[in-house]
Chains A and B, each alone.
Chain A
Amino acid sequence: MATVPSDDVPELARGIHDMGGLPGGAVDRHEHAVTLWEKRVDALLVLLTRKGVFSVDELRNAIERLGAEAYTSLSYYERWTASIAWNLMQRGVIQADELGKRMAEIEAEGRQ
């Protein structure tokens, strides 16, 4: 007998990240070589949290709030990137239009 039957959970209570007990499909066990941009995102998060700009709990919180579509389509470090950007905007470190302008510039340069 399940302690918490799945149909007994309030509809809005389960975040997309809270997937324990749901069918998950096969686990992809392939090794993934970490790319340079992923290392940079990792380093950026370490810097930001050590300097106290925001915490890893705030990182996780924003990731949980990406919405189901974004959460499932983004890769691990893409989620981090989206959360870091959101948290930096929340803290007033960067502005949304400033970020958009810079992203357009980098895209125009053809950089990754």
Chain B
Amino acid sequence: MTASRFRAGDPVRVRRAFPPGHIRTPIYIRGASGVIERDCGDCINAEERAFGRPGLPGLPLYRVRFRQHEIWPDYAGPAGDSIEIELYANWLEPA
């Protein structure tokens, strides 16, 4: 699988897709835009390994930062609040 390699600070969008299977990307973040916080390196593909397959080669995993106000319509916290989620590269595209 070819996936874009991102660097800290890169804007990304989470794929808005709903495939069946074991998915590590929560529903509420699909389609959202964020910024790469860090590259966590290549990790075993848990979405594959969940079905007894090796999950190799690993996929780049990224910690992505999102603004809470952009995720939740009625968010009442400070404007600078963020949420960080670790997401596999196959779920991310350049924004």
Contact = CB atoms under 8 A, between A and B. Distances in A.
Q: Is chain B found bound to chain A in the same assembly?
A: yes
A32 to B, nearest CB: 25
A110 interface: no
A86 B31 CA distance: 34
Given A10-B18, A20-B27, A60-B22, A2 B49 contact: no
A46 to B, nearest CB: 17
B93 to A, nearest CB: 15
Interface size class of chain A, counting residues whose CB lies under 8 Å from the partner chain: 20 to 34
A75 interface: no
21 contacts: A1-B73, A3-B32, A4-B30, A4-B32, A9-B27, A13-B18, A13-B27, A20-B26, A20-B27, A20-B28, A21-B28, A21-B72, A55-B49, A57-B22, A57-B46, A58-B52, A60-B22, A60-B50, A61-B22, A61-B51, A64-B22
Interface in A1-34: 1-4, 9-10, 13-15, 18, 20-21
Given A2-B73, A10-B18, A58 B51 contact: yes
Contacts of A13: 18, 27
Interface of A: 1-4, 9-10, 13-15, 18, 20-21, 54-55, 57-58, 60-61, 64, 90
A16 to B, nearest CB: 12
Contacts of A9: 18, 27
Contacts of A1: 70, 73
Given A3-B33, A3-B71, A18 B49 contact: no
A9 B26 CA distance: 12
Interface string B44-55: 001001111001
B16 interface: yes
A64 B49 CA distance: 15
Contacts of B28: 4, 20-21
Contacts of B70: 1, 3
